[in-house]
Amino acid sequence: MAESDAEKLQRIVEARMKLRDRHLKRIESSPARSDPNPLGSGERNRHGMPRLPPGQHLTKSWPVLDLGVKPEVSTSAWRLTVDGAVDAPVTLDWAAFQALPQVKDDSDFHCVTTWSLMDSTWTGVPVSTVLALAQPKAEATHLMTYAADGYTTNLPIEEALKDDVLLVHAWNGQPLTKEHGGPVRMITPQLYAWKGAKWINRIELLTKDRPGFWEVRGYSMTAHPWRDDRYS
């Protein structure tokens, strides 16, 4: 008998939970939320952390940062491939992406150039969900993410599996604009924002860490705002 849509969603949710459970110890022992002595200052936010990481200031409007190109990616042309150290490489188109369980989450956005945008509402799909679809091999330790402008950035798998790390298509209830990486970008609220690729089109699972575009140029491989971990 063919699997119903409800059964399919249930299977995806279970695969995601299984993948997170497998990495839970490393997720919980990595910095940011679990850090008992964060370096920031100011009022505590909803995660019990001070509002601002060290060296950051608030911005009201959302700046745009890119490499000088803003690629035009339509929803019909958009694809996301998850491959590398996985058992089931997968390519999602817009319809397949939209059919995945969607979440809404409020989080902050810290750029290494010292501005922080607080309290955005994001809509999208947890990165952990698309990773679960592709079934990372036990030896997968890091991700390299790729974008339509040639940008790349790396991050540890335990960071990518955090609940607030999303592939987003809407910001504050509006479709994500092209300049901010629409139709789909990644966000990494507990890491500096350069770890979230705009116009994302590929996630490669790695068995050994490798630097991306800015990391080759001296940015941190780990990028924890609460540790002022900007450059290596």
Ligand X SMILES: Nc1nc2c(c(=O)[nH]1)N[C@H]1C(S)=C(S)[C@@H](COP(=O)(O)O)O[C@H]1N2
Q: Which of 78, 97, 122, 199 binds ligand X (CB under 6 A)?
A: 199
Which residues, 82 to 141, sit near Mo ion by CB under 5 A? 111-112
Picked from ligand X, Mo ion, none, the partner binding residue 64 (CB below 5 to 8 A depending on kind) is ligand X
Nearest residue to 179 (alpha-carbon basis) of 30, 34, 70, 74: 70
225 Cβ contact list (under 8 Å, min separation 6): 32, 40, 53, 54, 56, 110, 190, 191, 192
> Contacts from 63-66 at CB under 8 Å and sequence distance 24+?
63/111, 63/115, 64/179, 64/180, 65/111, 65/113, 66/149, 66/151, 66/179, 66/198
Does 149 bind ligand X (CB under 6 A)? Our answer is yes
Q: Which of 109, 122, 171, 194 binds Mo ion (CB under 5 A)?
A: 194
Q: Which of 82, 134, 140, 147 binds ligand X (CB under 6 A)?
A: 147
Which residues, 6 to 65, sit near Mo ion by CB under 5 A? 65
> What are the residues binding Mo ion (CB under 5 A)?
65, 111-112, 194
* Site residues (vs ligand X, CB under 6 A): 62-67, 111, 147, 149, 151, 180-181, 193-194, 196-199
